[in-house]
Amino acid sequence: MTLALVGLSHHVAPLALRERVTLDLEAAATLARSLGDAVCLSTCNRTEIYLEGVPETDAVGALERLAREPLDGVLYRLHEDAAALHLFRVAAGLDSLVPGEGEILKQVRDAFEAADPGPLLGRVFRQAVVVGKRVRSQTAIGENPASVSSAAAALAAQVFGELTGRRVLLIGAGRIGELAAANLASRGAEIAYVANRTVDTALDLARRFDGEAIALSDISSRLADVDVVVSSTSAPDTVLRAQGVPSRHRKPLFFIDIAVPRDVDPAIAKLDGCFLYDIDDLEAVVAETLALRRTEAERAEQLVAEEAERFRTWRASLDVVPAIASLRAHAEEIRASELAKVDRRMSDDALRTLESVTSQILNKLLHLPTIRMKEAAVTADGAEYADAVRYLFGLEEETL
C-alpha cells in the first residue's frame, strides 16, 4: 500500500487557475472513482487527490484536463507520512486561507464518505476527522473570525470604517451566503436583498434578516440601492457581468466575490465607482488575525503532530506484523509436530502439562524478539529487521 497526494491550493495557484479545477462533491467523487482507490477533496481554495496504489500520473492528467493547461511547477506531490500530515493539517484548518476556519472539516468528511476508498485511505481520513475534532474542542483557534464569510465581513468593515446603515445585496442563499449574512448583520449592515437561482430559498434567508428576496435576473435593477454586493454561489459560470452594472455617480459600490469559480465579472473592477475584491484579497484580512491565533495554532500543530505520529507508527508496523505472525506460526507448527511424537500412553494430565509447558516456553522465547521487532518498526531499519527474521528462520522459503 502506497499513500500519495497530488494537488494545488491557494498557496501555489492563482484564483483563475483554481476555479478551473474546482469540483462539486458529486463530480469530485466521480473523479476519484474513475482513478481507482482515491479521494478527491475540492474546495474553493484547493483541489487535492489522495491515492492508494494509483499512479500519480493518472491524477496529474486528470487535473491538467480540468485546468486545460500543464501544471508543472504548480502541483505539489506528497507521499506516505508527509501526505498524511498534510491531510491532518487541512482537516484541522491549519492550511486554510483563514487558519482555523470550521467549514473544511465537514468538507474533508464529505469527500471521504462520497468516495469508496480502501483500508489505507480509510484509515488516514478517519484519523483526519478525529484530529480536526480534537483541534476544535481542545484549542481556541476558531474563536476569532475563522471563515471566508467572516473575513468578507471584516473586509467590508475595513472599506467603510463601520457597516452600520450600509445596505447589502447578497447573491447566493447557501451555507456560505447564510454565514456571510450573519457576519455582516452582526457588524450593523442591513441585508437589503437576497438573490438566488431558487427564489423560495432566497425568501427563507431574506426573512431572517428582514430583507427582500429577488431573482438573479433582478440584480442589476437593485445595484443602485446598495453599498455592498457579496456573492457566494456555486454557479459554474459568471452570475453578474459588467454589462449588468449601471453607471453610478452617487456613491461607490463594493463587490466582494467569495465564490470559486468567481461569480462576478473581473471587468467590473474597471468600471467607474466600482471596487471588486475576490477571495485572494482576503489574505490581508487574514494576516491581521494571525497574531491572535498564533498560540492556539501552536497547540493545534502539536495535536496534529501527535496524530501524525500515531499514523506513522501504525503504517510502519505493517512491515513487521506479517513477519511476526509468520515467525509465531512457524514456531507453533514445530511445537505441534514435536508434541505429535510424544508417547500417547502418557496420562491426560501429563499431556496437558506438557502442552502448557511447551506453549509457555514458546511464548517466552518469542516475547523479546516480538517486542524488539515492533520497536524497530518505527525506525528506518524496521523493514530490514523483518527481512532478517524471514531469512534466519527460512520463512520466505515456506511461501515459495
- Catalytic sites, residue numbers: 44
Q: Are 245 and 274 in contact (CB under 8 A)?
A: yes
| C-alpha of 262 from chain center | 21
DSSP bridge pairs for 7 = 48, 76
Nearest alpha carbon to residue 2 among 73, 88, 79, 89? 79
What whole-number distance in Å separates Cα of residue 174 and Cα of residue 208? 14
C-alpha cell belonging to residue 341? 511424537
What whole-number distance in Å separates Cα of residue 191 and Cα of residue 205? 10
C-alpha cell belonging to residue 261? 469559480
